[in-house]
C-alpha cells in the first residue's frame, strides 16, 4: 500500500465546500424547525382531535416511517411534476426532509405525551381548563422534555440523511464533495474531508441541542423525580 494522500487539490475548493456546508445546515435547521412544528400540531390532533383525524395522522406517520427516504425524495422531485407541482431540487429536499422528520418526531412526541401521568390531566380539568388548554399548557412541554434526547438524536440522523439529497443534484455537502471528486480525481481525500465535516456538524448539532434542551426545559431532571414521587404516593 503506497497511496500518497494529496489534500491540496481538494482543499483548494474550500469555498465550494463551504457552500455545501451552508446548504446542509440550512436544510437541517429548516427541516428541524418545520418538522417539529408539524409534529407538535399532529400530536395535538392525535390527542384531542376527532378520531378520524387521529387516524389520518397515524396513517401518515406509518407511511413515512416505513418507506425509504430516497423514495420519498424521488416521489417529491420526480413524481410531483407529473401533477403540475414543480419544485427546485433544494425545495424538494427541504420538503422531503421536513415531512420525513415530522413523521418520526410525531411518533417520538407521542411517547412523551403518553408518559404524562393521568393525574396531571385531572389537575387541569379540575381547574376548568379545556382539553386544548391542557395539552398546550400542561402536557406538551413536559412531554417534549421527557423525549428530548430521543428527539435530538432523530434531528442528528436527519442531518446525516440530508446527504441523500445529493441524488437529486442538491449541492449540499455530499453533493459538492461528489463534484470535487470528479474534478480532482481525489476520491479518498474528498470523502475524508466530507466525513470530518459531517462529524463536526453532527457533534455541533448534538451539543447545541443539549444546550437548547437545558435552556427550554430547565426542569428536565426534576421532572423524572417528581414523577417517581407522584407514583409512589
Partner 1 sequence: MSAVHIENVHKSFGKLEVLKGVSLTVEAGQVVAIIGRSGSGKSTLLRCINGLETIQSGRIEVVGHTVTYTDEKLRALRKDVGIVFQSYNLFPHLTVGQNIMLAPRITKGVPKEEARAQAEKVLAQVGLSEKFDVYPDNLSGGQQQRVAIARSLAMQPKVMLFDEVTSALDPELTGEVLLVMEELARGGMTMLLVTHEMNFARSVADFTVFMHQGKVWEMGPSEELFSHPKTPELAAFVKSTLK
Closest approach, Cβ 108 to partner 1, in A, equals 18
The torsion angles phi and psi of 186, rounded to 5 degrees, stand at: -105, 75
Query: With binding defined as CB under 8 A, does residue 153 bind partner 1?
Result: no
Answer yes or no whether residue 138 interacts with partner 1 by CB under 8 A: yes
Angstrom distance (rounded) from CA 204 to CA 208: 6
Closest by CA to 64, choosing from 90, 32, 95, 34, is 95
138 versus 158: smaller Cβ distance to partner 1: 138
Backbone angles phi, psi at 150, to 5 degrees: -65, -40
Stretch that binds partner 1, among 16-24, 54-62, 121-129, 151-159 (CB under 8 A): 121-129
Spatial separation of the C-alpha atoms in residues 204 and 210, rounded to whole Å: 10
In the bound state with partner 1, the residue whose beta carbon lies nearer, of 131 and 183, is 131
Q: Does 215 bind partner 1 (CB under 8 A)?
A: no
Q: Which stretch binds partner 1 (CB under 8 A): 6-14, 33-41, 84-92, 222-230?
A: 222-230
Q: What are phi and psi of 66, to 5 degrees?
A: -120, 25
**Exposure on the CB side of residue 197, measured as CA atoms within 13 A:** 22
By CB under 8 A, which span of 50-58, 98-106, 169-177, 225-233 interacts with partner 1?
225-233
Residue 169 engages partner 1 in binding (rule: CB under 8 A)? no
Q: Is 145 helix (H, G, I), strand (E, B) or coil?
A: helix
| 211-to-88, 105, 150, 205, 208 alpha-carbon distances in Å | 34, 19, 15, 10, 5
Residue 70: CB minimum distance to partner 1, A: 39
- Interface contacts to partner 1, rule CB under 8 A: 119-120, 122-123, 125-131, 133, 137-138, 141-142, 145, 217-219, 222-223, 225-227, 229-230, 232-233
Amino acid at each position: 500500500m503506497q497511496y500518497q494522500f494529496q489534500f491540496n487539490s481538494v482543499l483548494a475548493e474550500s469555498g465550494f465546500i463551504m457552500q455545501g456546508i451552508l446548504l446542509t445546515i440550512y436544510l437541517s435547521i429548516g427541516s428541524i424547525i418545520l418538522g417539529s412544528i408539524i409534529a407538535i400540531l399532529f400530536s395535538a390532533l392525535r390527542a384531542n382531535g376527532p378520531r378520524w383525524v387521529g387516524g389520518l395522522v397515524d396513517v401518515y406517520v406509518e407511511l413515512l416511517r416505513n418507506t425509504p427516504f430516497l423514495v420519498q425524495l424521488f416521489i417529491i422531485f420526480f413524481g410531483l411534476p407529473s401533477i403540475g407541482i414543480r419544485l427546485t431540487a433544494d425545495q424538494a429536499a427541504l420538503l422531503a426532509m421536513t415531512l420525513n422528520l415530522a413523521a418520526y418526531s410525531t411518533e417520538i412526541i407521542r411517547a412523551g405525551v403518553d408518559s404524562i401521568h393521568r393525574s396531571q390531566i385531572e389537575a387541569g380539568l379540575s381547574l376548568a381548563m379545556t382539553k386544548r388548554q391542557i395539552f398546550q399548557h400542561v402536557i406538551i412541554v413536559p412531554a417534549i422534555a421527557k423525549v428530548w434526547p430521543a428527539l435530538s438524536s432523530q434531528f442528528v440522523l436527519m442531518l446525516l440523511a440530508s446527504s441523500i439529497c445529493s441524488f437529486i443534484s442538491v449541492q449540499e455537502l455530499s453533493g459538492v464533495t461528489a463534484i470535487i471528486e470528479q474534478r480532482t480525481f481525489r476520491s479518498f481525500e474528498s470523502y475524508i474531508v466530507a466525513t470530518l465535516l459531517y462529524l463536526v456538524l453532527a457533534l455541533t448539532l448534538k451539543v447545541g441541542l443539549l444546550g437548547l434542551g437545558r435552556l427550554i426545559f430547565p426542569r428536565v431532571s426534576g421532572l423524572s423525580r417528581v414523577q417517581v414521587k407522584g407514583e409512589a404516593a
